[in-house]
Structure 1
């Protein structure tokens, strides 16, 4: 039987540009076409973005010294492929029929913790499926959603990402330039706040604790906000799978925060290590996780 052609999308919101209209049409294409295009994009980056490839390889070398070099090389390629596929998938996540989100992004785990309506702080690590997870959660669970947002340098890219992440439930995106005070206000108003505190943001407001055996500058915003607002911390992660994505909402951390920033940061990194070990090739190794060093320590990255 001949394959059916994608039909022209029904316009349910204003078309802002030719690019917007094109993405609505492209969003109707089958998922395997998106995954093939994303893999090609990721492999092109792996081949030509030599500096980023070097950072990924060094991160994996530092974090998985026990792994065979060939295994680390496969994880490095998978990192770029996962990045490319998750980037291209944003077309159907943000411009496609809402039913695609329900069909392709499975929601599993302790979802009821986010449905109750009480204020909650979500720990969301930088796995490449996080935009898909955010889209599914804001699409399905109608509540007051907040998250941190890093503005993009290019205005067109910034608008695309902001509008994509605000597609459902009218969430509040708090710019990093605004600081953490608005986040506390949101929690006190009953928001579900998604925080991504697993990157190296410098020594300010950070403590040095182990992450995969390396001293890593780790921000303490997660336990401080949880303590100040008196809310539970619920982790969720999202992984790429053959049929799309799978969101897993985990049980709230018990006894957290403890009141000791060092203890709480160490616990967060330990939990994150466990998540990363389940899918090493889908974590954001493109970032220099260990760029900030304790006083007197040499850089872990090659020039």
Structure 2
């Protein structure tokens, strides 16, 4: 559970068992380096539609999530959103390559930043920043783009594949300081106490441990971790919602004002507050959210399994 600084390259990474990993990363690097952004998005949407024929279980999960979360949509609207969502999944493959491999100048060319004054205000006051984010399919770009303005610290899950772990740490640290294992709470607290910006996405279903059941979209009892409030309680820390949205000509890095009266010390009320912020952001571009995850799998006693 140590902090992940830039890992050294070792000869062990050249073992033959990693051949296809290196080939895949090399192909991704080649495509995102040579192709223009619009071309990558065209290919991404096509790849996403193709994936719907292969990832049948994920299609079922995403469709079910849309039924649970957005019951106000009729069947035609949900299917349209589902297709757009998988197109976004395909685009995310290229966006990961952009985040990991593009130079700063090329990233800045497609990034429009909104709300950087909230970062400036926190820095001027010597405050740590908890960047409340979510699992948008543009999440790899989110931390990379924020780091272009002010390098921060990312929270992540280490990859068990040594080559992919090397690539993701190198890529995610291109414009940021270092990564902290999502289990390393002390490391997260330390970053905030030092006045760093800490990227944090609490919107997945992590089970019953340290969770409460509160509303998220139309699901009245969605398991939601209480870690957001725990981190936000660090002295001189402000919580800044931070998201990246894909637009017609690039991306908008949206940094919102600090959450007021947060946290208040009530786990349920604080989880409701953070869920409302995340939900509002997702509604700006619901097709760009990671609906492939079983967000509502954990249920209270007496409530049947939702999938």
Whether TM exceeds 0.5 here: the answer is yes
1:137-191 Cα offsets, whole Å, 9 max, x none, are: 11232x4x1121012243332222221101124x221112x43121111111111
Partners in 2 of 1:240 and 1:130 — Cα distance? 11
Between 1:153-162 and 1:124-133, the stretch displaced more is 153-162
Aligned to 2:3: none
1:216 Cα deviation from its structure 2 partner: 0.6
Conservation of the 8 A alpha-carbon contact between 2:95 and 2:140: no
Aligned to 1:205: 210
* Coordinate RMSD, CA, aligned: 2.0
1:216 corresponds to 2:222:
yes
1:134 corresponds to which of 133, 143, 147: 143
Aligned to 1:152: 159
Conservation of the 8 A alpha-carbon contact between 1:123 and 1:234: yes
1:114 Cα deviation from its structure 2 partner: 2.0
1:121 corresponds to which of 130, 146, 155: 130
Q: How many corresponding residue pairs?
A: 282
Partners in 1 of 2:186 and 2:45 — Cα distance? 39
Aligned to 2:259: 253
Aligned to 1:164: 171
1:52 corresponds to which of 52, 58, 62: 58
Conservation of the 8 A alpha-carbon contact between 1:151 and 1:158: yes
1:96-154 Cα offsets, whole Å, 9 max, x none, are: 3321101112111x21222353311110111112221211111232x4x1121012243
Conservation of the 8 A alpha-carbon contact between 2:205 and 2:295: yes
The secondary structure found in structure 2 opposite 1:237 is strand
1:237 corresponds to 2:250:
no
- Structure 1 unaligned segments of length 5 or more: list them: 1-13
Aligned to 1:297: 303
1:282 corresponds to 2:285:
no
Partners in 1 of 2:246 and 2:168 — Cα distance? 19
Conservation of the 8 A alpha-carbon contact between 2:214 and 2:272: yes
2:42 corresponds to which of 36, 59, 81: 36
Partners in 2 of 1:52 and 1:172 — Cα distance? 31
After the TM superposition, which parts of structure 1 deviate over 6 Å for at least 4 consecutive aligned residues?
A: none
Between 1:207-216 and 1:223-232, the stretch displaced more is 223-232
Aligned to 2:102: 96
The secondary structure found in structure 1 opposite 2:154 is strand
The secondary structure found in structure 1 opposite 2:112 is strand
1:288 Cα deviation from its structure 2 partner: 0.5
1:15-70 Cα offsets, whole Å, 9 max, x none, are: x9975666554313211221122112211211211100000000000111121101
Partners in 1 of 2:147 and 2:303 — Cα distance? 43
Aligned to 1:194: 199
1:83 Cα deviation from its structure 2 partner: 1.7
Partners in 1 of 2:188 and 2:140 — Cα distance? 20
- Structure 2 unaligned segments of length 5 or more: list them: 1-8, 15-21
Partners in 2 of 1:246 and 1:103 — Cα distance? 11
